[in-house]
Structure 1
Amino acid sequence: MTDDRDRWNERYRDDDFELPDDPVPELARRIDTLPEGRALDVATGSGRNAIFLAEHGYDVEAVDVSDEALAQAHTRADELGLEVDWIRADVTDSDGEFQLEPREYDLIVVSFFYAPALLPELKEALAPGGVLVYEHHLRSSDPVEVGPSDDRVRFRSNDLLRSCLDLTVLHYAEATRHGKEDGRPSTIATVVARKSCGGAQSYPPERDMRDVPRE
């Protein structure tokens, strides 16, 4: 964990390393339909998702391996008068201090963190009816300028979807996204899935895509 912590601390100290301030787009679009309560933001980075959730009344825990990232996120939350439980930990460390407990969270968000081996624990940590929102980079045959250079830490097409088929998938998409500021392309997979089962369920209303802002 020390190597990862040092590497990410160095990146967050680099003035040229910038992450978006906005939350995961599908999280923002669906926030009014998601279960209220306790939320976990995994690999929170500069805290964009955690802060958004705190603004919407969630009791938020946000975990990251980087001290520097958490310090930046903490400062930003303080400036906004928001309370988040910032946790420095490696969530992939099975012997670490931070352990996922079953049925703990009403909402779990994972953004740009490749952790397929962690998905079973994340799903188990959802409370009944809880929702997982996960997005990460895809392998692509098109030129992309954002995300890891190593395809081994990108999802293949439909990998993320297949990993969530034991949940009720409310949304899944694979698409090219262009940065708002620089227009650089990235390829992203996004899933929104609820911990529920059965042939008869309640579903949020379909969004009118004319009302959804473009990326």
Structure 2
Amino acid sequence: MTDERERWNEKYSGVDFSLPADPIPELERRLSTLPDGRALDVATGTGRNALFLAAAGYDVDAIDISDVALETARRRADEHGVDVNWMRADLAAFDWSVGEYDVITVSFFAALEHLPAIKEALAPDGVLIYEHHLRSSDPLEIGPSNERHRYRSNDLLRACLDLTILSYEERRRPVAGGVAAVATLVARNSSGGTQSYPKLTARKRPPSQE
């Protein structure tokens, strides 16, 4: 077992470590505008985004390095009657497919070094939805204690400027029972000076994944 796997297994086994049960808010908000098809949830943890996407009808692959997290994710999938292809893998050694996924989600995982491969895995017009903790001068209750595991302002935005940015926001918001500073990006794998920007409309969400 790798040191990274041991570290994450220990973290997920801890009683003080918790993740939100609901998906990325922008994923839920924009579900009706996203392309159908295949989805990939990177660093899925206990499966909050993967379960939501599977319930919405996507063919979902979900990657994580932690056996403990994936065991919980599988149990939650069984409880909610959805199918997800759970994959235990270290992103550094993962065999990324090119142009494979219509939706890719990343939640609270510092993966800037993997972003070139993640972006290449997007199908034409595929959408990346990514949220991560920010460095902040404000007191925060949630997120990494080490600043190097947080992004600086606009780090995530700058790393995705080769995509069409549909939405980017930095703000404090409630996360897992506390307050966090979070950057959220929604970007599409498209290019050109003329783009389509679907109107956001209300859509009935899939059943709760709690």
TM-score by length of 1: 0.90
1:206 and 1:45 map into 2 onto residues whose CA distance is: 28
User: What is the aligned partner in structure 2 of residue 38 from structure 1?
Assistant: 38
Distance 1:111 1:25, change over 3 A: same
Matched residue of 1:100: which SS?
coil
Which residue of structure 1 lines up, in the alignment, with residue 119 of structure 2?
Answer: 123
Could you give the per-residue CA deviations for residues 171-208 of structure 1, whole angstroms, max 9, x where no partner exists? 0000001246x3x2210000000000112221111569
**Matched residue of 1:39: which SS?**
strand
Q: Segments of 4+ in structure 1 off by > 6 A?
A: none
2:188 counterpart (188, 194, 203): 194
CA contact (8 A) 2:133 2:183 kept: yes
Q: CA deviation at 1:150?
A: 1.2
Number of paired residues? 202
The question of whether the paired residues in 1 share the 8 Å contact of 2:62 and 2:87 is answered with: yes
- What is the match of residue 211 of structure 1? none
**What's 1:28 paired with?**
28
SS at match of 1:92: helix
Alignment match, 2:130:
134
- Within a 5 Å distance, the mapping from 1:23-172 to structure 2 comes to 23-93=23-93, 98-172=94-168
Distance 1:172 1:8 in 2: 29
Structure 2 residue aligned with 1:173: 169
Cα 1:206–1:82 change in 2 (3 A) is closer
Partner Cα distance (1:124, 1:89) in 2: 18
Q: Which has the higher contact order (CA 8 A, sep 6+)?
A: 2
Cα deviation code 1:99-147 (max 9, x no counterpart): 1111011110000000111111111110000000001000111111211
1:124 and 1:179 map into 2 onto residues whose CA distance is 29
2:32–2:201 contact (8 Å) kept in structure 1 = no
Counterparts in 2 of 1:207 and 1:82: CA distance versus 1, 3 Å:
closer
Query: Matched residue of 1:199: which SS?
Result: coil
CA distance in 2, matches of 1:26, 1:195: 17
Distance 1:136 1:47 in 2: 16
Q: What is the DSSP-based 3-state SS (H/G/I as helix, E as strand, rest coil) of the residue aligned with 2:28?
A: helix
Q: Which runs of 5+ in 2 are unaligned?
A: 203-210
- Mark the runs of 5 or more structure 1 residues left unpaired by the alignment: 209-215
Residue 59 of structure 1 and its aligned partner are, at CA, apart by 0.3
Matches of 1:100 and 1:108 in 2, distance apart? 12
Instruction: Give the partner amino acid of 2:107.
Output: S
Please list, as runs of the form range in 1=range in 2, the aligned pairs for 1:195-210 lying within 5 A after superposition: 195-205=189-199
What is aligned with 2:206?
Answer: none
* Cα RMSD (Å): 1.4
**Residues 68-87 of structure 1: CA deviation (Å, up to 9, x unaligned):** 10000000001111100000
Structure 2: distance between partners of 1:11 and 1:155: 20
Q: Distance in 1 between matches of 2:150 and 2:66?
A: 21
* 3-state SS in 1 of match to 2:115: helix
